């Protein structure tokens, strides 16, 4: 058997893949957080709840309407994005003039309310969501066995990340977003409906979280608490990356996912906390974060 650093190659690559999958979710979620924070100056604590909502919408669509995974991948982000937009317009938008901490506290309450409601309605236990037929099974790469769905998650989330990056960096809408991040009042004075842009951005961020949730449904179980602990890890990812850069959020997400996977190989006891430890070390060495601009 081939060994690497005294570990069987199979196990090593297996954990690397799991790390890459986790990293995909970290990247998608921290990307959404960074986009929302950039424009709204709100840390969206409800991001984990919106991720959970995405998975639940997919599950309920399947259970009640027999709607497939593929359609759910489109419908769930739209539904959750719309709900997010309504919340932004009716409630969150009243907090922009206040200290950003109030936005954090409001979305924290929102997360509790959403997760509590789903726990009340569906119980805390996870429910399985099966892998779509087209992506079932696996393939032997010669050096390891790759479940096709896992490969798909890595590829499609990378596509979603790059797509979002292109949307922000290369399109007209993206130039509005970037400009409004710098100076919202001036952009509005130029005739751009900035309040609408904020609503759209929050909806986009929530939709992105829901998209990640649908992707996650077949990998993990669908449960009301699936986003709870995840969001705290994603906060750490965001602190490590610094929220100044979209690309930084993506790269940091994948890096930390892989670091976590490798820790599982070499020192499993620390795998839960390795991301927090990295965060602490980065803060001590480079407080602004790896890609951060402000201190």
Interface contacts to another protein, rule CB under 8 A:
43, 91, 94-95, 97-102, 104-106, 108-117, 119-120, 172, 175-176, 178-179, 181-183, 185-195, 229, 232-233, 235-236, 238-239, 269, 272-273, 276-277, 279-280, 283-284, 287
Alpha-carbon gap, residue 112 to 117, rounded angstroms:
8
Length of the chain: 295
Tokens read off for 229? 């602990």
Alpha-carbon gap, residue 22 to 283, rounded angstroms:
23
SS3 103: helix
Minimum CB–partner distance for residue 187 and another protein (Å): 7
Q: Name the nearest CA neighbour of 166 among 174, 177, 157.
A: 174
Q: Give the DSSP H/E element, type plus range, for residue 194.
A: helix 194-216
- Which is closer to another protein, CB of 215 or CB of 256? 256
Q: Name the nearest CA neighbour of 213 among 78, 86, 112.
A: 78
Minimum CB–partner distance for residue 3 and another protein (Å): 28
**Contact in structure between 43 and 99 (CB atoms under 8 Å):** no
In 3-state terms, the chain is what percent helix, strand and coil (to 5)? Answer: 75, 5, 25
Q: Cβ–Cβ contacts within 10 Å for residue 158, how many?
A: 17
Q: Name the nearest CA neighbour of 279 among 227, 235, 230, 243.
A: 235
Minimum CB–partner distance for residue 150 and another protein (Å): 25
- For residue 49, what are the CA distances in angstroms to 46, 106, 197? 5, 13, 23
Residue carrying structure tokens 């936005």: 103
Alpha-carbon gap, residue 287 to 190, rounded angstroms:
36
């Amino acid at each position: 058997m081939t060994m690497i650093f005294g570990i069987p190659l199979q196990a090593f690559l297996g954990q690397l893949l799991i790390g890459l999958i986790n990293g995909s979710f970290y990247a998608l979620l921290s990307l959404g957080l960074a986009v929302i924070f950039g424009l709204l100056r709100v840390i969206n604590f409800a991001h984990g709840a919106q991720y959970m909502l995405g998975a639940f919408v997919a599950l309920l669509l399947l259970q009640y309407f027999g709607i497939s995974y593929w359609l759910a991948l489109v419908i769930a982000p739209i539904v959750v994005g719309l709900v997010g937009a309504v919340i932004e317009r009716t409630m969150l938008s009243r907090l922009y003039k206040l200290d950003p901490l109030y936005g954090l506290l409001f979305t924290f309450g929102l997360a509790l309310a959403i997760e509590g409601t789903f726990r009340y309605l569906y119980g805390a236990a996870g429910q399985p969501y099966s892998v779509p037929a087209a992506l079932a099974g696996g393939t032997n790469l010669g050096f390891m066995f790759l479940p096709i769905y896992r490969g798909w998650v890595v590829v499609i989330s990378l596509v979603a990340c790059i797509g979002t990056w292109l949307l922000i960096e290369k399109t007209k809408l993206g130039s509005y977003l970037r400009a409004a991040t710098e100076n919202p009042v001036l952009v509005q004075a130029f005739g751009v409906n900035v309040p609408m842009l904020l609503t759209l951005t929050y909806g986009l961020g929530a939709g992105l979280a829901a998209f990640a949730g649908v992707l996650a449904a077949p990998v993990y179980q669908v449960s009301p608490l699936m986003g709870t602990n995840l969001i705290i890890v994603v906060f750490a990812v965001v602190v490590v990356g610094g929220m100044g850069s979209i690309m930084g959020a993506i790269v940091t997400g994948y890096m930390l996912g892989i670091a976590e996977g490798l820790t599982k190989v070499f020192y499993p006891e620390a795998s839960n906390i390795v991301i927090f430890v990295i965060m602490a070390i980065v803060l001590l060495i480079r407080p602004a974060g790896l890609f951060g601009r402000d201190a």
